[in-house]
């Protein structure tokens, strides 16, 4: 006869209350709220109103891009900005900051366990990037006549995989950085090159062919290209979806094994 064994439930007890508490703390951090929730929309409005030529039509690139306004072609890249901002700047800083303050170590002695904070911030990050993306898209549609996506289901799959990829990378950064400032620095060093490949400076369809090919194999470049195809095209971006899926699996596996609680 073997002794009965008990297993710890996969979802920590009290996670809902902890998530609400962490969400309130997050809402009081004006810098994080602005950067994570509002910055993509501010960027969209600023680019549309300040940069010359954003309201002109694209010519000579080919279908489906010709005839669209330049700001329309930028919209998927701006959704990528919302995803990357949360995944590469907000999440890593919070996780590393909690380790630096010893919160994970103290939670280890309670019924909640430190993994509860990790789950809570994953939930908060997902909700935040959904709101940030939706806000940017709504403003784009209402103020700048951005067309609605031609393939909503492909867009949803591209968005979810892009979000998973960025959160997985953020988990690795936040899981290994010893301090919040270090995590923020590493996140920013990763953030800006990824925005370049996502087409924030030059829209993806207007990039040289070689640069487009390189961007396809970067996490955020693949996300931006998949979102663009879902928004304006008619095909399924299988290659980009596969690239994001591979990055997600690899980085979540690394984060799960290497995450430092103290």
- The per-residue pLDDT for range 2-13, each reduced to its tens digit, is 444 334 445 566
Confidence at residue 221, expressed as pLDDT on a 0 to 100 scale: 96
The candidate with the shortest Cα–Cα distance to 255, out of 127, 159, 164, is: 164
Q: Cβ of 160: how many Cβ atoms within 10 Å? A: 14
Q: Which of 58, 84, 68 is nearest to 159 (CA)?
A: 84
Distance CA 236, CA 155 (A): 10
Give the CA distances from residue 57 to residues 62, 66, 78, 115, in Å, rounded to whole numbers and listed in that order: 12, 7, 18, 50
Coil vs helix vs strand at 25: helix
DSSP 57: B
Query: What's the CA gap between 204 and 224, in Å, rounded?
Result: 8
Looking at residue 59, its pLDDT comes to 87
Q: Are 177 and 96 in contact (CB under 8 A)?
A: yes
State residue 12's pLDDT score: 60
Cβ atoms 22, 124 nearer than 8 A: yes
Q: For position 227, what pLDDT does the model report? A: 97
- Per the CB < 8 A criterion, the answer to whether 120 and 19 are in contact is yes
pLDDT of residue 241: 98
What's the pTM? 0.90
Residues whose CB falls within 8 Å of the CB of residue 166, separated by 6 or more in sequence, listed in order: 83, 84, 86, 87, 88, 219, 220, 223
Low-confidence ranges of the chain (pLDDT < 50): 1-9
* pLDDT at residue number 10: 55
């Amino acid at each position: 006869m073997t002794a009965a064994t008990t297993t710890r439930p996969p979802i920590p007890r009290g996670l809902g209350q902890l998530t609400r508490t962490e969400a309130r703390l997050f809402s009081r951090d004006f810098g994080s709220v602005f950067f994570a929730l509002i910055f993509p929309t501010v960027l969209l409005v600023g680019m549309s109103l300040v940069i010359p030529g954003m309201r002109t039509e694209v010519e000579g690139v080919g279908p489906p891009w010709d005839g669209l306004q330049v700001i329309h072609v930028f919209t998927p890249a701006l959704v990528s900005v919302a995803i990357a901002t949360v995944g590469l700047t907000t999440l890593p800083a919070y996780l590393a900051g909690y380790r630096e303050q010893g919160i994970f170590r103290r939670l280890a002695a309670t019924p909640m366990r430190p993994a509860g904070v990790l789950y809570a911030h994953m939930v908060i990050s997902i909700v935040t990037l959904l709101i940030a993306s939706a806000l940017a898209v709504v403003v784009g549609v209402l103020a700048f006549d951005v067309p609605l996506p031609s393939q909503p289901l492909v867009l949803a799959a591209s968005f979810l995989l892009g979000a998973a990829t960025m959160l997985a990378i953020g988990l690795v950064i936040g899981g290994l950085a010893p301090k919040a400032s270090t995590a923020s620095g590493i996140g920013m060093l990763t953030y800006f090159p990824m925005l370049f490949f996502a087409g924030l400076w030059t829209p993806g369809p207007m990039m040289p062919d070689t640069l487009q090919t390189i961007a396809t194999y970067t996490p955020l470049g693949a996300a931006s290209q998949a979102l663009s195809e879902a928004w304006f095209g008619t095909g399924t971006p299988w290659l980009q979806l596969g690239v994001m899926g591979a990055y997600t699996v690899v980085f979540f596996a690394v984060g799960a094994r290497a995450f430092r609680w103290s």
